Amino acid sequence: MDRYRKVIEESNVPVDKDFIKKALEKISEKIPELRTTDVYTRIFNCIDLTTLNTTDSQNSVTGFIQRVNDFDNEYPQYPNVAAVCVFSNFAGVVKTSLEVTGVKTAVVAGGFPSGQTFTEVKVADVALAVSEGADEVDVVMNLGMLRDKNYEELCDELIEVKHAAKDAHMKVIIESGALKDAEQIRDASILAMYSDADFIKTSTGKVYEGASPEAAYVMCQCIKEYYEKTGRKVGFKAAGGVRSAEDALIYYAIVKEVLGDEWLNNSLFRIGASSLANAILAKMLDEAEVKYF
C-alpha cells in the first residue's frame, strides 16, 4: 500500500450524507447571529475578486484593477479585497497596475479549467506567472488520475507544480461538483494537502456545479484532521456560484464551526467571486444595492 492510500484509509472524516446534512442544519441555525457589519467586512476582506472571461484583455484587466485601487480612497474605513484573480498571462498586468498594499496577485494556471495538459506545460505556466509577479496560483487537480486511483502520479505532479510556484501559494482546485460523492471529495482534499497545497478550493466555476455547503463541510473537516496530524494549517476557498451575501455567510459559518475563528482571515479563508463583492459591500454600507466593481 502506498502512503497516499494509507492516509486516505486512516481518515476519519465523515462522508455519510445524513450525518453531513444534520451537521449543516445545526450550522445554519447560527447564521442569523452572523449578519453583522463586522462579519460582512471580514468576508469582503477574504474575497478573491475574479475576472476569467474569454474576452479579457490588457485594457479590461487594467480597468478592473483600477476599481480595486480606487476602493482605498472611496472607502478608507474598510479593508480591501484579499486578491485579484486573473488568467496567468495577465499576472504582469495586475502586478504593475495594483497600487494598493495587501491585495495579492492571484492567477489560474496549469490547464485551467480542466487541468488536462502535459505536466511540463503546467509547470511552465506556473513558473511564468510567478516570474511575472503572481503571489498565488490556482491549479486544477487531475481528476482523471484521481478516478483511476493513480495517486502517486497525481501527487507527484502537484508537488512539481508547487516547486515551480516557489514562494507563491498554491491553491488546488478539486472541482467538487464533478466529484459529487463525499468520499471522493474527502480523498481529493487529502491528496491535495499531502501534495503541499496551501489552500484547497472547491471549484473552477466554469464547467461543473460550483461550491456547495456539503463539499465545504467535508473539505473543512479534512483540513481540521490534517492540521491535527501534521500541525500545518491549510486554507479553504469556496468558488463557483457564490453570489449573494447569504451564500457567503454559509461558507463563513462552516469555516467558523469546523475550523474555528483562527481560520476566519484571508490568510486561510477565501471566496472566489466576481459579483459577490458588490453584494457584500451593500451589506457593509446598509444599502439595498451597490454597483462598484
Active site residues per annotation: 138, 201, 237
Q: What is the DSSP letter of 195?
A: T
For residue 23, CA distances in Å to 48, 56, 77, 147, 215 come to: 27, 40, 36, 27, 12
Beta-strand pair 169-173/136-140: parallel
CA–CA separation, 93 and 80 (whole Å): 19
Bridge partners for 236 per DSSP = 200, 269
All three cell numbers of 142:
487531475
List the one residue out of 250, 248, 198, 249 whose CA is nearest residue 223. Answer: 198
Sign of the dihedral through C-alpha 40, 43, 48, 53: negative
For residue 66, CA distances in Å to 43, 60, 98, 99, 267 come to: 21, 10, 7, 9, 23
